[in-house]
Amino acid sequence: MSKQFDVIVIGGGPGGYIAAIRAAQLGFNVACVDEWKNARGGPALGGTCTNVGCIPSKALLQSSENFDQAGHHFADHGIEIKGLAMDVAKMLGRKDAVVKQNNDGILYLFKKNKVTFFHGRGTFVKASDAGYEINVAGSTPDTLVGKHIIVATGSNARALPGAPFDEEMILSNDGALRVGAVPQKLGLIGSGVIGLEMGSVWRRLGSEVTVLEALPTFLGAVDEQIAREAKKAFDKQGLKIELGVKVGEIKTGKKGVSVAWTNARGEAQLLEVDKLIVSIGRVPNTIGLGAEAVGLKLDERGAIVVDDDCKTSLPNVWAVGDVVRGPMLAHKAEEEGVAVAERIAGQHGHVNFNTVPWVIYTSPEIAWVGQTEQQLKSAGRAYKAGTFPFLANGRARALGDTTGMVKFLADAATDEILGVHIVGPQASELISEAVVAMEFRASSEDIARICHAHPSLSEATKEAALAVDKRTLNF
Ligand code: FAD
Ligand code: NAI
Q: How far is the CA of 329 from the centre of ligand 1 (A)?
A: 8
Q: Is the CB of 119 under 6 A from ligand 1?
A: no
Do you know the residue count of the chain? 475
Ligand 2 pocket by C-beta < 6 Å: which residues? 160, 189-195, 197, 212-215, 247, 279-282, 327-329, 359-361
Q: How far is the CA of 197 from the centre of ligand 2 (A)?
A: 10
The pLDDT value given to residue 255: 87
Q: Is the CB of 153 under 6 A from ligand 1?
A: yes
- Find the ligand nearest to 360 CA: 2
The pLDDT value given to residue 139: 83
- Find the ligand nearest to 333 CA: 1
Q: What is the pLDDT of residues 106-117, one digit of tens each?
A: 999 999 999 999
Q: How many helices (H) and strands (E) does the chain have?
A: 14, 22
Looking at beta carbons, which pairs linking 190-193 to residues 24 or more positions away fall under 8 Å?
Answer: 190/214, 190/278, 190/279, 190/280, 190/281, 191/218, 191/219, 191/241, 191/243, 192/219, 192/279, 192/280, 192/281, 193/279, 193/360
Residue ranges and CATH numbers for the domains of the chain are 3-156+283-351 (3.50.50.60), 170-280 (3.50.50.60), 355-467 (3.30.390.30)
Q: Which residues pair with 471 in a beta bridge?
A: none
Q: Is the CB of 403 under 6 A from ligand 1?
A: no
The pLDDT value given to residue 1: 81
- Whole-structure pTM value: 0.97
Q: What is the pLDDT of residues 293-343, one digit of tens each?
A: 999 999 999 999 999 999 999 999 999 999 999 999 999 999 999 999 999
Nearest to 417 by CA among 375, 358, 369: 369
- Find the ligand nearest to 247 CA: 2
Residue nearest ligand 1's atom 7 by CA: 11
**Choice from 193, 213, 325 to test ligand 2 binding pocket (greatest atom count within 8 A of CB):** 193
Q: Is the CB of 176 under 6 A from ligand 1?
A: no
The β-bridge relationship of strands 383-389 and 185-189 is: unpaired
Cα gap 394→301, rounded to integer Å: 48
Q: Is the CB of 43 under 6 A from ligand 1?
A: no
Q: How far is the CA of 364 from the centre of ligand 2 (A)?
A: 18
416 HSE (CA, 13 A, CB side): 11
Nearest to 116 by CA among 26, 20, 14: 20
Nearest to 428 by CA among 62, 67, 174: 62
Q: How far is the CA of 390 from the centre of ligand 2 (A)?
A: 28
The pLDDT value given to residue 312: 98
Could you give the dihedral angle defined by the CA atoms of residues 120, 121, 126 and 130, in that order, rounded to the nearest 10 degrees? 40
Residue 331 annotated among the catalytic residues of the structure: no
Q: Can you list the residues of the chain whose pLDDT is less than 70?
A: none
Q: Is the CB of 195 under 6 A from ligand 1?
A: no
Residue nearest ligand 2's atom 24 by CA: 281
Ligand 2 atom closest to 54 (CA) = 42
- Whether residue 22 contacts residue 337, with contact meaning beta carbons closer than 8 Å, is answered with yes
Q: How far is the CA of 331 from the centre of ligand 2 (A)?
A: 17
Q: How far is the CA of 312 from the centre of ligand 2 (A)?
A: 26
Ligand 2 atom closest to 282 (CA) = 28
Residue nearest ligand 1's atom 43 by CA: 49
Ligand 1 atom closest to 176 (CA) = 34
The pLDDT value given to residue 346: 98
Nearest to 424 by CA among 444, 404, 441, 410: 404
Q: How far is the CA of 423 from the centre of ligand 1 (A)?
A: 26
- Whether residue 462 contacts residue 381, with contact meaning beta carbons closer than 8 Å, is answered with no
Residue nearest ligand 1's atom 29 by CA: 54
Q: How far is the CA of 44 from the centre of ligand 1 (A)?
A: 12
Nearest to 460 by CA among 418, 384, 405, 420: 405
**Choice from 246, 280, 423 to test ligand 2 binding pocket (greatest atom count within 8 A of CB):** 280
* Beta strands in 41-130, from DSSP E residues, in sequence order: 116-119, 121-128
- Whether residue 198 contacts residue 64, with contact meaning beta carbons closer than 8 Å, is answered with no
- Whether residue 160 contacts residue 250, with contact meaning beta carbons closer than 8 Å, is answered with yes
Q: Is the CB of 194 under 6 A from ligand 1?
A: yes
